Structure 1
Amino acid sequence: MTGTKTHLTGERAPCGRLGDADRSQEDDFEGFRLDDMHYACGCRHMQHEFHDGSVRIRTVRHDGKILSDEHSGEHEA
């Protein structure tokens, strides 16, 4: 698995604040990918892609409130 970390400036957080952010990306080149943003204010945005092709996207505001939590892999049998 390979990964990178990038420091960004002037990014708009989910709460609307502008500031620094750190982006962490990992990939196993077999369908598993992580893309996480951690903002200076404490907000987070995560996108995880899994081997089965499903995707989970979650956004959490700096006070812990979940703004969105979506998962594409919920299938009915």
Structure 2
Amino acid sequence: MTGVKSPFSPELAPCGKRSGGERLVDDDGYGLLIRDQYFDCGCRRIRHEYHDGSIHISAVRHDGKRIKDSSLQADHGS
């Protein structure tokens, strides 16, 4: 499993500021998919999809505070 890192243009970070950064995408080809965004301001947004189909989504501001936001909830196809 090898991850691919690529820069991304400024977008809204979890802290509310626009910031660019680096995106990491890692896929094992068997159902594990990791998508992490590391913002230049220090914020982080993660989305991990596991082999059993479950999804974990979270965001952390640059000050370490975890963000609870309805836009972070998983899409269950409704």
Tell me the TM-score normalised to structure 1 length. 0.82
- Give the gaps of 5 or more residues in structure 1: 73-77
Identity within the alignment, %: 44
The Cα of 1:10 is off from its aligned counterpart by 1.8
After superposing the two structures, state which structure 1 stretch, 47-56 or 8-17, moved more: 8-17
Q: Is the 8 A contact 1:10 1:19 kept in 2?
A: yes
Question: Is the radius of gyration larger for structure 1 or structure 2?
Answer: 1
Please state which structure has a larger fraction of its residues in strand.
1
1:49 aligns with 2:49: yes
Tell me the TM-score normalised to structure 2 length. 0.81
- Give the gaps of 5 or more residues in structure 2: none
State the Cα RMSD in Å.
Answer: 2.0
Q: Give aligned pairs, total.
A: 72
